[in-house]
Structure 1
Amino acid sequence: MYLKKGTYDSAIHYLRIASEAALAGRRMDNHYGYTTSLARAYDFMGQTDSAFRIIRYVNNGATRYDYISVMVTAAGLLARLHNQQHRYDSAVIYLMQERALKDSITGLETLNSIQYLTSDYQQKTLEREREKQEAVSNYKAKLKNYYFAGGILLLLLVIGVLYRINKQRSRSKKAIETAYEELKTTQAQLVHSEKMASLGELTAGIAHEIQNPLNFVNNFSEVSNELADEMNMELDKGDIAEAKLLANDIRQNLEKITFHGKRADAIVKGMLQHSRNSSGQPEPTDLNKLADEYLRLAYHGLRAKDKTFNSAVETDFDPAVGSVRIIPQDIGRVVMNLLTNAFYAVNEKTRSGVAGQEDYKPTVSISTIRETGRVRIIITDNGNGIPPEIREKIFQPFFTTKPTGEGTGLGLSMSFDIITKGHAGRLTMDSNLGSGTSFTIELPIR
């Protein structure tokens, strides 16, 4: 009654009560009948998943108890639900099952009538028996035909789906190959950009580093010019002794000019040695000297870009490290990258101006240690540290915490590959949030 009126909530409530009561009383035919109506109610409410679940339960139970009339109703409702879900192959199968079951009911009713009518007529009994056998044979033939037709339909559907999937796969493969080529090109461009950025840092550091000896050369040259003028004046006066003293001062200034000129020349030659294109072959390299040179370059490179930048620098080079077979240009790039990141970290902490850090002194340290079969380069800063949630990502390509335009996200990734793949070493990180970060380069001694 509630179902016909469209009050589905009430219908569902009472149908559940009736179904459970029938199940408790082992009246399974009534139980499956009420449960079928419950599935219809959910179907009318648009709750297809619930209707599917309930009617499948009914269909399985009715099949087990051979309740053909319930099986007919269940097959019809399943065909309808599959059709709503556009699963037409399943809908056809259940429609064929419904029709076959209806034919079976018709055949059984006919058989009962024949048995009733032939109780008095033996001859008619034999004829009815033949009709019954023919009905069963026809039923089996129809059922076989239905299943065969359903199988053919399902096979055609599967072939069509496989054809579409194969076609789509071909298009997807071509698109993936195109995207892969574009990705390789973009990655190569980004790697080139990272190398150029590293070269820019190196160039800025060289320019700033060479400025000091050039300043000395300029200053002593100006002083020597003044002393030469004074010496000429003393010679004009005839004061030879004073002129000789001035000439001696000029000589000392010239010696200092020569000293600082050679110092500038050494800086340029050293940096050209480290910045030239890598041959890819390891060569004996003074690791302490390399680390010290790139420390100064990284520091002066940042000073050249930001005049307000300042940081304490600490070094602890183990004399026992000596000469190690490495690719100096590649290791120099790694050290430069790690030091630049360290100076960036302490500079960011200085700029943040967090309360309670008024006595904060930005410090970056670099040290080397020789151990059995290996050497280590340790670069430490007392910046803000790296948050735990991103520590596993820092060596991934294109990952960066810097603002847009300040980093490509390839520096640590390239450094990791240079150490692990190019030198069979290790690059590890240890960080404490709020206290700072330490990177350790481990290189085998070969």
Structure 2
Amino acid sequence: MPDALLPFLLIGPVLLLLVGGIIGILVREQRRRLQQEREKHLLLEQQNERLEQQVQQRTADLQQSLDHLQATQRQLIQSEKLASLGELTAGVAHEIQNPLNFVLNFSEVSVELVQELKEEVLHQLPATTMAPAAELLQNLEDNLQRITQHGQRAGGIVQGMLLHARTSASERQPTNLNALTDQFLRLAYQGMRAKDRTFNITIETHFAPDMELVRVAPQDIGRVLLNLFNNALYALRKRQQAQEPGYKPLLQVTTQCRSGQVELRVCDNGPGIAADVLDKIFQPFFTTKPTGEGSGLGLSISYDIVTQGHGGQLLCQTQEGAYTEFIMRLPA
């Protein structure tokens, strides 16, 4: 073989060695990268596990802190909810009050116009049309009187809404407890009727005729009354929905004067309160209502207003399956 061909014969093995070396390098590099990926994946799993443990620990710490802050939370919820509700109620009440005033004013003016027609025009009509015209005018006057009556009733509800919306809880003034009770009773009943038009009950009121003005914060006592009435109406509706044969829902509201005290009783013949939860009803956040239907704050707030805010008493008497009666006593 000529020496000139020898270099060419060596090129093949050299190229094979180079290619083999390159492939080996690439394989090792790929293995190294895979190993790095596995190590990274393992590291991420470990970090995720540690992070999850930290989250669980911090969640447990947060839950423990929330449990310790329950009393503070109650105060915040009370003030914020009442403030928001007060602003909303006041806004709605003012929006209703203006058109309601127009309805009442025009109704009263229309009654006067009907009277003028009766006095000045009716007798001028032919005998054949006088009787039908008189009947039409009388029907018109009756309808206008109904409009005025229900408009005044709506006005009372609006005034109750405005009273409930006030936030100056510390200001006391001489208050007609009978009128305040009647006002919030109507407000609560109309509110329940707005939710369920089929809801009808018998309401009996026995207001003490000799009741003198009581020095209270009317907006606060109004909230108490609204809570008591709403609870009673809810209980009556709940038992009514059970469709017991012969059941007739009844709400009795009584005021009376005692020695140095005034007393209000709100009694319903609803399902009553179970004995095992009776001692919890004034605790904050306790409720027997389904989720979303009660915050468990109403009676707690009412109890604080009556006992701490006014130096009075708020008691409950009940018999499961028969009745529930709340008794509020305030210094006269």
1:361 equivalent in structure 2 = 248
What is the CA–CA distance in structure 2 between the aligned matches of 1:443 and 1:245, rounded to whole Å?
Answer: 53
Q: Once the two structures are superposed, what CA deviation does each residue of 1:5-61 show, in whole Å capped at 9, x if it has no partner?
A: xxxxxxxxxxxxxxxxxxxxxxxxxxxxxxxxxxxxxxxxxxxxxxxxxxxxxxxxx
**Aligned match of 1:399 in 274, 283, 286?**
286
Which SS does the other structure have where 1:370 is aligned? Answer: strand
Cα pair 1:205 1:302 within 8 Å, conserved: no
Q: Give the Å deviation of 1:200.
A: 8.0
Structure 1 stretch 416-425 or stretch 216-225: which is displaced more? 216-225
2:187 equivalent in structure 1 = 297
Q: 1:350 and 1:414, CA in 2 relative to 1: closer, same or farther beyond 3 A?
A: same
Unaligned 5+ residue runs, structure 2?
1-59
**Aligned match of 2:299 in 412, 427, 443?**
412
What is the CA–CA distance in structure 1 between the aligned matches of 2:234 and 2:86, rounded to whole Å?
Answer: 14
**Aligned match of 1:381 in 258, 268, 284?**
268
Q: Once the two structures are superposed, what CA deviation does each residue of 1:75-105 show, in whole Å capped at 9, x if it has no partner?
A: xxxxxxxxxxxxxxxxxxxxxxxxxxxxxxx
What is the CA–CA distance in structure 1 between the aligned matches of 2:211 and 2:242, rounded to whole Å?
Answer: 38
Q: Give the Å deviation of 1:415.
A: 0.4
Amino acid at match of 1:371: R
Q: Give the Å deviation of 1:321.
A: 1.6
Which SS does the other structure have where 1:320 is aligned? Answer: coil
Q: 1:267 and 1:181, CA in 2 relative to 1: closer, same or farther beyond 3 A?
A: closer
**Aligned match of 1:331 in 221, 224, 230?**
221
Matched, 1:287 2:177: yes
Amino acid at match of 1:316: H
Q: Give the Å deviation of 1:396.
A: 0.5
Q: Give the Å deviation of 1:307.
A: 1.3
Which SS does the other structure have where 1:421 is aligned? Answer: helix
Amino acid at match of 2:289: K
1:317 equivalent in structure 2 = 207
1:346 equivalent in structure 2 = 236
1:192 equivalent in structure 2 = 80
Higher share in helix: 1
Which SS does the other structure have where 1:361 is aligned? Answer: coil
**Aligned match of 1:268 in 158, 163, 169?**
158
Q: Give the Å deviation of 1:189.
A: 3.0
Cα pair 2:104 2:148 within 8 Å, conserved: no
| TM-score normalised per structure 2 | 0.64
Q: Once the two structures are superposed, what CA deviation does each residue of 1:111-170 show, in whole Å capped at 9, x if it has no partner?
A: xxxxxxxxxxxxxxxxxxxxxxxxxxxxxxxxxxxxxxxxxxxxxxxxxxxxxxxxxxxx
Q: Which has the higher contact order (CA 8 A, sep 6+)?
A: 2
Q: Pairwise mapping of residues 240-259 of structure 1 onto structure 2 (< 5 A)?
A: none
Which SS does the other structure have where 1:401 is aligned? Answer: coil
**Aligned match of 1:434 in 321, 326, 330?**
321
Structure 1 stretch 266-275 or stretch 330-339: which is displaced more? 266-275
Q: Give the Å deviation of 1:351.
A: 1.1
What is the CA–CA distance in structure 1 between the aligned matches of 2:289 and 2:81, rounded to whole Å?
Answer: 16
Amino acid at match of 1:411: G
Unaligned 5+ residue runs, structure 1?
1-171
What is the CA–CA distance in structure 2 between the aligned matches of 1:435 and 1:182, rounded to whole Å?
Answer: 34
Cα pair 1:224 1:250 within 8 Å, conserved: no
Amino acid at match of 1:313: I
Cα pair 2:93 2:161 within 8 Å, conserved: no
Q: Give the Å deviation of 1:195.
A: 6.6
What is the CA–CA distance in structure 2 between the aligned matches of 1:358 and 1:417, rounded to whole Å?
Answer: 39
Q: Once the two structures are superposed, what CA deviation does each residue of 1:413-439 show, in whole Å capped at 9, x if it has no partner?
A: 000000000000000001101101100
Cα pair 2:89 2:165 within 8 Å, conserved: no
Amino acid at match of 1:340: N
Cα pair 2:306 2:328 within 8 Å, conserved: yes
1:129 equivalent in structure 2 = none
Q: Give the Å deviation of 1:319.
A: 1.2
What is the CA–CA distance in structure 2 between the aligned matches of 1:359 and 1:204, rounded to whole Å?
Answer: 39
The total of aligned residue pairs comes to 270
| TM-score normalised per structure 1 | 0.49
Superposition CA RMSD, Å: 5.0
What is the CA–CA distance in structure 2 between the aligned matches of 1:269 and 1:221, rounded to whole Å?
Answer: 23
Cα pair 2:157 2:187 within 8 Å, conserved: no
Amino acid at match of 2:323: G
**Matched residues, percent identical?**
38
Q: Pairwise mapping of residues 21-60 of structure 1 onto structure 2 (< 5 A)?
A: none
